[in-house]
Chain A
Amino acid sequence: MTAQHVIIIASALGGLIGGMGMGGGTLLIPLLTLAAGLEQHLAQAINLIAFVPMSLVALFIHKKNGYVSFKKSVPIAAVALVGAVGGSFGAKYAGGRGLRIAFGVFLIALGVYQAVKTAVSAVKAHRAKKRAQAET
């Protein structure tokens, strides 16, 4: 397999997870660095670029279904843009290795958060089911 094939397969896996609505590209970046051997900054740039067409399609569908709140997005988007400019330049000055380790810690934190959230909602669903059974 050539490097291009590995990148396509790694990206398809990342897209598969993103398409299920699971944290978008958070796993595409390590797939690109660990499996395809790309440099950390380049992998992050690719994730940012790949997100644009993907989210445009998703937004179009959500907009049609009436789920997008423009009013609430404007103030957050405005301040988030300021943060994004700072973060993007910050990444340039962080070395590839440092950035990789920081990204690893970030992923662990997100993973723990996701695990807790999943467990809490599973327990809630279970309790609701039991209550419904008790009432009937």
Chain B
Amino acid sequence: MKDNVKTGLIYGGGVLVGAVSGFFGGGGGMLCVPLLEAYGLDCKRAHATALLIILPICIVSASIYIANGYFEATAVLCSVIGVTLGAAAGALALDKLNGTAVAAIFAALMIAVGLKLTLS
């Protein structure tokens, strides 16, 4: 691929990652990882670096959501407690699981939940 085409794709992709994260309140990380791989990072580095890109996006987007009135202290507090506990358990369990099986189940879950949201 020509260098300027590639640069355009990477910057365009970057804007898309931000726009998707802001509009849907998440999901940008899943787009950011392949983008960083196209930018020349290996899989592990792409995953880690994606966090560094998504973090400022989340802070800015969350601030705009809160400023627009989408905030409930109790719900946020409950959710942060739950997510933190769940994430620790998930990270610990990861080593003991079959990566392909987990990814396949996750894909099926996303499609099922997506259908439910679209059709309900």
Contact = CB atoms under 8 A, between A and B. Distances in A.
Contacts of B109: 27, 111
Interface string B63-100: 01110101110111011111111111111111001001
Contact of B20 (A55, A62, A105, A106): A106
A77 B52 CA distance: 8
B56 A77 contact: yes
B80 to A, nearest CB: 5
Contacts of B59: 52
A16 B67 CA distance: 29
B116 A104 contact: yes
A128 interface: no
Nearest to A69: B49
Nearest to A106: B24
Interface string A31-73: 0111010110111111111111111101100110101111011
Contacts of A29: 24-26
B82 A87 contact: no
A87 B113 contact: no
Interface string A69-83: 110110111111111
User: A interface, how many residues as a size bin?
Assistant: 35 or more
Interface residues of B, number: 88
Main secondary structure on chain A at its contact with chain B?
helix
A19 B89 contact: yes
Nearest to A112: B111
Given A4-B74, A106-B20, A111-B114, A48 B65 contact: yes
A90 B90 contact: no
Contacts of B94: 19-21
Contacts of A56: 55
Counting from the closest, the 7 A-B pairs by CB-CB distance are A19-B90, A44-B25, A87-B22, A15-B86, A83-B18, A11-B82, A104-B117
Interface of B: 10-11, 13-30, 32, 35-36, 39-41, 44-45, 47-49, 51-62, 64-66, 68, 70-72, 74-76, 78-94, 97, 100, 102-104, 106-111, 113-119
Interface of A: 4, 7-30, 32-34, 36, 38-39, 41-56, 58-59, 62-63, 65, 67-70, 72-73, 75-92, 94, 99-115, 117-118, 121-122, 125
